[in-house]
Structure 1
């Protein structure tokens, strides 16, 4: 934390007000014009000395930045941030960096890795100044074009480029080591050179101001401007004495800021006068250092100055600067004092590029939350970071803070901390430094609940009276370990102990009354572990315990108990009470270890119950307070929840918003008389006014940032070979692509996307939908990628929308038309070609049939004879097959009974019997076909022909019988073909049924005797087998496997399936641990038994499973891995059901636990047989 001594702070205020009075006296009208800005910067000045009004967040190599020195920053038209470093060009989308570097063998790459400056032209493309040439980057095509100095007048004048400037008319200006250049021909690389006659022409900066004048700064020859004739003219500005210009930028009201290597100038161009600002050793409001690297004016008209020793903010109303310096003790200070670039994006985030320390950013929309913590090197900070309680004293001047390291008095006006500590050997000091609760009586004395008794502190003298437990003395507190205390309207002190119940002390007589839990008395306090005491506006005394809430009933001197009751919606959601607070509507908020309850004080009914299921970030609610606008603040273990009583919704804030951490402490919440909220936790405390939590109103632009095939990114113009042909999948970057055409074989596709709002990008939220496949939107939190597999050919539209860090959604989002082309055999032209081929085949076949009919008549007799013989053989084979089937059936029955497995045999017989019935039907149909065959009359016809062979021609042509015989032969072909086809069809059916019988028998035999049969086995042996198969990867990644195997009965399971399940779960645990990389990589295995079920749990300390994914984790196709397909856990769930077991998953903030439940008896398994058979039928 940026802490300065109070003396420095007072000196600063004295200087500040002295200068302010002087300016008001001289320039009253101007000061009135800057009143609003004055108040804003006054708050900044005060906050800087004691608090974090500016919280800088850092990006460096760990976030993907290619190099830590950042001389240039810009934002493109889509909203991506671009960072020019000394190690290449970086594009940032809030999730990851895309790096572009120089490639020695690629002329379309960056001309040099060292980037000095960038500008964006009217088409949205980038012009990049490097140490070796000028580079043009076409953002849509992701291609570079290089411009180098050549021995011709039209080329750029030097390869060392210091700066670029893009005009609104499309003109690009280039400042080089050897002159100023104006681009006139982008395609051919034509430049017009401008130079100073007899000068060195080492131009460092080029800039066009708001009036339209172009300025150019040199390093050694001063400041130039472009005159009306388009020539460089030396500026004649009074007071501008330094000739080494480093930076130029617009100022307020027409002023111009010019940075040099020895100070900063504020120039009035109309009067040609300059004011110099330099570092002054005895003036903390002066410039921090004279080497000025960059000047920038943001959208709030704030002027920021980056120097070689810190960042400066100029205050025009006082003509002074506020300094921001790197502080290694403060992770929210700037990362380096070497500031080289500044840029404000379109959503009001200020980006700060340093030399060798990466990027810093500060958002004007981030929450104005002050943060106080212990700084061992500061003379004015908290005494300890673990905060337990706040109290505003009676005069409102001080906030008293209980910590693990003593009592702190915080003066709200001066920002000074004063400590009260335990002094060994001094009985008038605190008895313990652990202060859990603070109360103040009417006389002004403070009463403290500590880990060692009650203390009464006189704030003026610092003297302490101790009230400690004394053995065998009932007139003392019953236990020294205390948790809470409160003072009632009569002045009595109510004291909560951690194991001996509730004590009440009369401070006048110093006598004690004790209340303890009595299990035989329902009117006693519900537990002797008392956690909280709260006195409401009607003087009711509420007592929270580990076993419920209690209301003291003074007329009976007993308690009414409130606890969780199953099935009662008006009872507490949980009985372990952590904090109690009355809101402005007279309702009682009760924080527990399982949510928050809102209790009606009159009826004692619970009106509302809040948990993770309806808006809280976590179920453990430690601290509660209400502000003056009726919003309720709930500190949990995963952030701060703010309940808006008007909208009845929660807003969630966490460490990323500037909080001390995500975990708060029990009771550490306060709203001061001025309306300021105080929230304490394990890393200090925060203060803020409700208005300081104003949300980010900016709707985030949404872009698709990457497209992948088979988990590999597809580059622009990246040719992909397919069946001997090359095709360009992307002609432009995926961000600039409207329609994407893919082949049916591109069956694993992925999209990445981003909301280009950089306030807190980790809190941006996403939802996606593939129209034509998804029926509803898929809300996926902060995950920014999705994968689809095996999409059917057709037309789709991929849509994605996003919300910023405060939940403001871009409902329109972005979209991409997706067309998946079918294989050639599913195309229209292929269908048409098939119809034409089929038609041609029919015509040709008809003609062939006419020609062959005569030949077939001649062969008819031979064919009939052959068919008759074939039918005889078929019948013979069928009889043999039937005989063999009956024998097999008999053998199977005998085998099943001998094996004691009647249920299997019955199933086999049932299946075989059905098939045999079908076989008998087919044989009967063949027999009937043979009986009714036209061949029956063929023998008679042949005999008749043999009798008249001598007069065959006369017999056929002239006799009635002969004519009928000819007609009979001509009509015989078609019936015989039908009979032939019917017999062949029945024969094929018979063959299939015989094969089916064989398959049934084989399958049932396998089921009866193979490894797929469920059997009793040792679960411990199976675990050891699965671990041995994973031993290589476990040793390679140095994982520790901890086993707790209790004695259990053998389980009923399929051996092969169980091995598959265990390997899958061990593999997932290993991958989760490797991804998070905790200090100790641990897989915990536990086996235990409850009645006739055995439980196996596998736990890891990886990153855990997000809550929104818990219900989908066993769904087919669901995965959170970019390269996954979502089949592993789905198959595990199916196998467990097939074995009559269950699989469950649990996950908290860290790690996940998978639990397998197995039956141990055949009885339990047989009870599940119907479910098992149904499952097998479905699958």
Structure 2
């Protein structure tokens, strides 16, 4: 039996079910979370979707993220509020006090008391229990008085009996009083409503105008009454017993739905068109059962003001909680309807609920099947038998009998074999097994041999081939033998056969064909190539919107579901129309069990989903793709630093653009968008103009800080999107960071003047620098010329020095040569004179001998002549003149200077001085001067006297230094 037939079957067996109700999801706001007092007496929603509550500690405000409390002027309990959306005022009433709250241009909430306008006689009016608007007047209802405030004037109407309720119904003020019934207030006159005697003894707690000028009167203990413009009659509802048993305290009406809050048992929502009931109480998750105030919000969900805390009840969502807050049964893995009973398989065991379900399911309504405990993997109905796959094997439930097939082990799932209603193929921890129906009784037949892999995700195709997805090994295509006892064909498909990965592949049926949902989208098997290929999204547009590795279920030809733990998509496909709803079921985000997502569709309007918290009821017909405006607000603006200071609170319209001193150039924005069902689905994008060119990426942070901003006019623009209902909103706030004193206009004018002066100075400086540069260039050129000249001179001097050096070298060489010549000539002269003297002495000796012998006189004369010539040669040597020249050259004109200094010196004296200058000894000098040694010594003595030398002065030293 395929899914379609199963759905038809379950629709038939549940045809008698008139109501499928469950617990709405509830969000709790405790006193600690909201920072408020006990008891919340009245509720209102502003135009920006923010919620306000009349709390014992004052006016309580909730913007979806932040809570704020604003005490009333006399700090008494606030009992009532009314929001005038046209003016933005929030009217409030307390004990002997009423007035209104309103924001200033900076967003600060301020309170203005109107009680001062009350006359002294009427000042003790006690509590203000209700506030409503009549035309342009705001009406404040007390115990025995009704104040009407219009055009800044106040009018009081007194009543003899206590008012139990009052309201503006179809432009008339309706008053309900015990013992006096209900009446219309016309000026100061009370006109009884015709035929209202039925209500004389009833305590009316709410007066609700409905369609067609009709009015509902809700009593405390006697039910509901309806006024049709002529008569007042009892108005029966499916919740009458609940209403009469639990003491009604408050009620509200919207769009054919009546919501009633009780003192004892929470609330009930009555759909006056269908009769459907939705209850919410502590079983559903309310903090307590005493409802002091109740109101619809823009999403048609309900806010409850409790005796302690505030609750948000999501009655208008397509998702409900089956078992409520107090789930004692574990996580939901599977479910099925059998014999007018809803069976639920969890990780703890098998449970059931009798159908039809009551509107208020209590935990005691869920019964355990004690014979089947532990993990339940699978429930399905085949041939009027309920099959249960569990951790302990396969169980059969036939009527009231439960039978365990002992041969089986842990069972993942069971599937009917195409064309064989008497056979079921089961998947166990150790492989496949076969169940067979014989003689009207299902029995274990045998295990299928030849294949030991296991898994719960397998399907038969039209040819009877088994397709099994293994969690890490890819896909198996299996064929069984004709006797079903073993696997005849086994082919494994992996990434080598076209799959994008070996793991995370889900097999599903779509239009009676087999497909694989992979990490890269939907694939299908191509027999001709024996490979997997990407499915054609043009042929199946729904596949374009499926989720990677998600469970895909085709509920019918119109609706396809794709879901995993993160997203649930409902894909509606009609001729020419494809609608994708990925937001309506967002309350179940992160609640499904990964890898074991389960759904059972009872019919087109009801489905059961397994969750980590149990089971959820989904109602697809309630899903809507409308995109209401998302109200996004910049909640607060702080100047940040060592300590933060609040610059501006929420200010719609921003009448005044704040100007910020330059030292406070770091700023933080706190913002929010009103999404009460799940604020985490709201994401924000922003940009600061003109600094940012692009919008930031969307993120869930609801604050943004900018630091070190320069002076200027800024616009902080904020966008928000709600992933729950795809709505979007945008807002902005402007601010000006004033320039520093050095950035002001006057400073800029001074800068301009300074710039002009500086420019002039710069021009002059440039000109001067230019002139100086020219002068420097000129000087540089002159210096270069001078340097060149000096260089030339240096080179000339160097050359001259070189020439002089060469000359000096030459002179030195010549001097050395002269000195050498002088020394040589002196030595030669000495040797010559010594030789001549020797010869002379020998001649003298010969002459003496000849004379003594008286030899030839002629010979003696000749000898005499030779002696005279030798002596003359010694005394008048021609070399003296050359000697004198050389000597003066070597000794710097010594003889010349000596003659000039001592003109009395004789030529012999000069010669002696020259020889002494040369440091010759007297012995060496004697032959040079042709005198004896003694004569030389005497000549030296005479020289000392001529030089006038004292005894201490050495003659040679004197001549050396001269």
TM-score > 0.5 by shorter chain: yes
Answer whether contact 2:566 2:590 (CA < 8 A) is retained: no
Deviation at 1:129, TM superposition (A): 0.3
Deviation at 1:388, TM superposition (A): 3.3
Trace 1:626-645 onto structure 2 (pairs within 5 A): 626-638=554-566, 640-642=568-570
2:377 counterpart residue number? 436
Quick check: 1:560 aligned with 2:491? Answer: yes
Could you say if the C-alpha distance between residues 708 and 571 of structure 1 is closer, same or farther in structure 2, counting changes exceeding 3 Å? same
Give, in whole Å, the separation in 2 of the partners of 1:712 and 1:274: 67
2:322 counterpart residue number? 371
Answer whether contact 2:521 2:534 (CA < 8 A) is retained: no
**Does the residue aligned with 2:598 lie in a helix, a strand or coil?**
strand
Trace 1:1011-1050 onto structure 2 (pairs within 5 A): none
1:962 counterpart residue number? none
Deviation at 1:451, TM superposition (A): 2.2
Q: Write the deviation string for residues 24-49 of structure 1: whole angstroms up to 9, x where unpaired.
A: xxxxxxxxxxxxxxx9xx99x8334x
Give, in whole Å, the separation in 2 of the partners of 1:682 and 1:630: 29
**Comparing 90-99 and 554-563, the one that deviates more:** 554-563
Deviation at 1:117, TM superposition (A): 0.9
1:77 pairs with 47, 57, 70, which one? 47
1:326 counterpart residue number? 281
2:747 pairs with 825, 830, 843, which one? 830
1:539 pairs with 464, 477, 493, which one? 464
Quick check: 1:452 aligned with 2:382? Answer: no
Give, in whole Å, the separation in 2 of the partners of 1:244 and 1:462: 54
Answer whether contact 1:140 1:733 (CA < 8 A) is retained: yes
Answer whether contact 2:464 2:479 (CA < 8 A) is retained: no
Deviation at 1:847, TM superposition (A): 12
Trace 1:784-823 onto structure 2 (pairs within 5 A): 784-810=702-728, 813-823=730-740
Quick check: 1:295 aligned with 2:251? Answer: yes
Deviation at 1:422, TM superposition (A): 6.3
TM-score between both structures, scaled by the size of structure 1 = 0.54
Q: Which has the larger radius of gyration?
A: 2
2:860 counterpart residue number? none
Structure 1: state its 5+ residue gaps.
Answer: 1-38, 103-109, 378-383, 424-429, 469-476, 517-524, 719-728, 854-863, 865-924, 938-1179
Quick check: 1:548 aligned with 2:461? Answer: no
2:509 counterpart residue number? 582
1:342 counterpart residue number? 294
Bigger relative CO (Cα 8 Å, ≥ 6 apart): 2
Trace 1:278-677 onto structure 2 (pairs within 5 A): 284=241, 286-290=243-247, 292-300=248-256, 302=258, 304=260, 306=262, 309-313=265-269, 324=279, 326-327=281-282, 329-331=283-285, 334-364=286-316, 366-369=317-320, 371-372=322-323, 384-390=329-335, 401-407=344-350, 421=369, 423=371, 433-438=374-379, 444-445=384-385, 448-455=388-395, 457=396, 459-460=398-399, 462-464=401-403, 466-468=405-407, 480-489=409-418, 490=420, 493-498=424-429, 500-503=430-433, 512=446, 514-515=448-449, 528-546=453-471, 547-554=473-480, 557-564=488-495, 570-575=498-503, 579-584=506-511, 586-590=513-517, 597-600=522-525, 602=527, 604-607=531-534, 621=550, 623-638=551-566, 640-642=568-570, 651-652=581-582, 657=587, 661-663=591-593, 666=596, 668-672=598-602, 676-677=606-607
Give, in whole Å, the separation in 2 of the partners of 1:207 and 1:735: 32
Give, in whole Å, the separation in 2 of the partners of 1:132 and 1:695: 47
Give, in whole Å, the separation in 2 of the partners of 1:625 and 1:661: 18
Answer whether contact 1:740 1:816 (CA < 8 A) is retained: no
1:47 counterpart residue number? 20
Deviation at 1:805, TM superposition (A): 4.8
1:1107 counterpart residue number? none
Q: Write the deviation string for residues 430-462 of structure 1: whole angstroms up to 9, x where unpaired.
A: 6x6533235666x5555544323444x261362
Q: Write the deviation string for residues 857-888 of structure 1: whole angstroms up to 9, x where unpaired.
A: xxxxxxx9xxxxxxxxxxxxxxxxxxxxxxxx
Answer whether contact 1:154 1:191 (CA < 8 A) is retained: no
Deviation at 1:86, TM superposition (A): 0.8
1:193 counterpart residue number? 156
Give, in whole Å, the separation in 1 of the partners of 2:189 and 2:337: 69
Answer whether contact 1:131 1:160 (CA < 8 A) is retained: yes
Could you say if the C-alpha distance between residues 699 and 679 of structure 1 is closer, same or farther in structure 2, counting changes exceeding 3 Å? same
Answer whether contact 2:134 2:168 (CA < 8 A) is retained: no
2:75 counterpart residue number? 112
Deviation at 1:89, TM superposition (A): 1.1
Deviation at 1:114, TM superposition (A): 1.0
1:179 counterpart residue number? 145
Q: Write the deviation string for residues 1142-1162 of structure 1: whole angstroms up to 9, x where unpaired.
A: xxxxxxxxxxxxxxxxxxxxx
Answer whether contact 1:71 1:116 (CA < 8 A) is retained: yes
1:100 pairs with 54, 60, 70, which one? 70
Deviation at 1:70, TM superposition (A): 0.9
Answer whether contact 2:565 2:589 (CA < 8 A) is retained: no
Give, in whole Å, the separation in 1 of the partners of 2:522 and 2:777: 83
Deviation at 1:825, TM superposition (A): 2.5
Answer whether contact 1:767 1:800 (CA < 8 A) is retained: yes
Give, in whole Å, the separation in 1 of the partners of 2:693 and 2:320: 42
Deviation at 1:285, TM superposition (A): 5.7
Could you say if the C-alpha distance between residues 573 and 672 of structure 1 is closer, same or farther in structure 2, counting changes exceeding 3 Å? farther
2:633 counterpart residue number? 703
Could you say if the C-alpha distance between residues 247 and 418 of structure 1 is closer, same or farther in structure 2, counting changes exceeding 3 Å? closer
**Does the residue aligned with 1:46 lie in a helix, a strand or coil?**
coil
Could you say if the C-alpha distance between residues 112 and 510 of structure 1 is closer, same or farther in structure 2, counting changes exceeding 3 Å? closer
Deviation at 1:206, TM superposition (A): 4.2
Deviation at 1:134, TM superposition (A): 1.5
Answer whether contact 1:706 1:752 (CA < 8 A) is retained: yes
Give, in whole Å, the separation in 1 of the partners of 2:28 and 2:315: 12
Deviation at 1:115, TM superposition (A): 0.7
Answer whether contact 2:565 2:590 (CA < 8 A) is retained: no
Answer whether contact 1:437 1:484 (CA < 8 A) is retained: yes
Give, in whole Å, the separation in 2 of the partners of 1:306 and 1:559: 65
2:672 counterpart residue number? 754
Could you say if the C-alpha distance between residues 91 and 185 of structure 1 is closer, same or farther in structure 2, counting changes exceeding 3 Å? same
Q: Write the deviation string for residues 782-809 of structure 1: whole angstroms up to 9, x where unpaired.
A: 4322222333433443222333353423
Q: RMSD over aligned Cα, in angstroms? A: 5.0
Answer whether contact 1:288 1:323 (CA < 8 A) is retained: no
2:59 pairs with 69, 89, 99, which one? 89
1:105 counterpart residue number? none
TM-score between both structures, scaled by the size of structure 2 = 0.65
1:209 counterpart residue number? 169
Could you say if the C-alpha distance between residues 80 and 505 of structure 1 is closer, same or farther in structure 2, counting changes exceeding 3 Å? closer
Deviation at 1:560, TM superposition (A): 1.4
**Does the residue aligned with 2:599 lie in a helix, a strand or coil?**
strand
Deviation at 1:359, TM superposition (A): 3.2
Could you say if the C-alpha distance between residues 515 and 649 of structure 1 is closer, same or farther in structure 2, counting changes exceeding 3 Å? farther
Give, in whole Å, the separation in 1 of the partners of 2:571 and 2:33: 34
Could you say if the C-alpha distance between residues 828 and 629 of structure 1 is closer, same or farther in structure 2, counting changes exceeding 3 Å? farther
Could you say if the C-alpha distance between residues 763 and 270 of structure 1 is closer, same or farther in structure 2, counting changes exceeding 3 Å? same
2:209 counterpart residue number? 250
Quick check: 1:681 aligned with 2:681? Answer: no
1:130 pairs with 71, 86, 94, which one? 94
**Comparing 217-226 and 170-179, the one that deviates more:** 217-226
Give, in whole Å, the separation in 2 of the partners of 1:586 and 1:275: 59
Deviation at 1:561, TM superposition (A): 0.9
Answer whether contact 2:553 2:562 (CA < 8 A) is retained: yes
Give, in whole Å, the separation in 2 of the partners of 1:145 and 1:79: 21
Give, in whole Å, the separation in 2 of the partners of 1:731 and 1:661: 37
